[in-house]
Homo-oligomer: A and B are copies of this chain.
Amino acid sequence: MQRQKLLVNGERLKQELERFADFGRTDNNGVTRLALSHEDRLARDHFRACCEELGLSVKIDDMGCMYATLEGTENVPPIVIGSHIDSVKKGGRFDGILGVVAGLEIVRTLIENNVKPRIPITIVNITNEEGARFEPSMMASGVLSGKFAKEVMIKKTDTEGITFEEALKNIGYDGDSDNRLTDATAFLELHIEQGPVLEQEKLSVGVVECVLGMVCYDIEVNGLSNHAGTTPMPMRKDALFVATDLLAEAREKLSVLDDKLVYTMGRMNVSPNIHTVIPNKVVFSLEARHQDEKVIEEVEDIIQSLTRSEAITEGCSVKATKLWGRDTVWFDQSVVEQVEEATKSLGYSYKRMVSGAGHDAQFLQSYIPSAMVFVPSQNGQSHCEEEYTTWEECERGVNVLLETVMGMLAKV
């Protein structure tokens, strides 16, 4: 027998997203809501008020994560739905908050349809996903999953020297470690894609299979500074000439490695960076992401080969330093399948895809069966005021989550 499908209220979803955007809305209709800031506090207060109005119990853990639970009829670990309330500076109205508001909208829909869930439903706001004020990103999920040491994290400071610990106390969200998320039936995170793939392929939903593994290196070239006007070309040891040759060589080698590989030289610093002085030092970052460990290994071989390149002219030297790397995180196959089934049953266009960006779900997956759902980002843009996902696509994404939850509730 087929269940009757519940659908969320798209208008209410939109209004709630816009309500949250008021906490830190910028002149250009973006959002600045740094972790543990005044704006974050106001948004948290609003989230708590919404949950309490729905009769949920709200708990706070020692990293400031918020858990609002709709009780279930059975004493089993909850289905957890959520994401993060914090944003980057001049970010958008969707990144993170969409996943939290999705949880609210799902619980609202369940309650108004008088569904008494078998499994408890917990909406979660995970503190400081962005790492924009306190590095690193995914801080609280890192602590919850044991990847980061709490004692180290709470001492992290913002640019004004305020520690995470102080800021958490200042906004009144320093809770109890007993409240931490320790067990769950599943974790579901709805998020904007932050890339152009769904839009380009005219698809509504991305069923995310994994978060890509990556490596990030600094390539440092050292040469010798001299006067730009007085040093004949053959006598130069120009670090920028070597660096740009190496960058081109890396691009050439990486471009033929694998179609799905992405690689970026996002940062380049030239010293002394004066138009009349030959550069003596250039450092540029090279990061690459791919789901297959072997491809990442080949990338690292290419990076090492740069240090022996023929482009390194006499008097210049090159070193490559690995800043970090992470393995691909595969989401729980069963949960991913349930998400895919829900998407299909709703008749939405979709594809299985990878996440190039990092998300809290990748840490939580280490101890909770997790999956993610993506909705399209206009022009692939995020972390900027222009960030936009149509209200219809937001609504479809939340419906996928609701339908996934309904499927889980229906199982015995």
Contacts and interface: CB of A to CB of B under 8 A. Distances in A.
A273 B262 contact: no
A273 B267 contact: yes
Contact of A267 (B193, B270, B289, B355): B270
A323 B275 CA distance: 11
A398 interface: no
B275 A285 contact: yes
Nearest to A216: B275
B275 A381 contact: no
Contacts of A245: 248
A229 B357 CA distance: 5
A382 interface: yes
B196 A232 contact: yes
A231 B380 contact: yes
Contacts of A229: 194-195, 212, 214, 262, 289, 355-358
A15 interface: no
Given A251-B241, A275-B285, A285-B275, A231 B356 contact: yes
B268 A270 contact: yes
B276 A227 contact: no
A265 interface: yes
A235 B357 CA distance: 16
Interface in A253-289: 255, 260-270, 273-279, 285, 287, 289
A307 interface: no
A264 B236 CA distance: 10
Contacts of A285: 275
Contacts of A37: none
A115 to B, nearest CB: 35
A289 B278 CA distance: 14
A227 B382 contact: yes
Contacts of A382: 227, 230
A230 B193 contact: yes
Given A244-B244, A266-B277, 4 more contacts: A196-B230, A212-B229, A235-B380, A267-B274
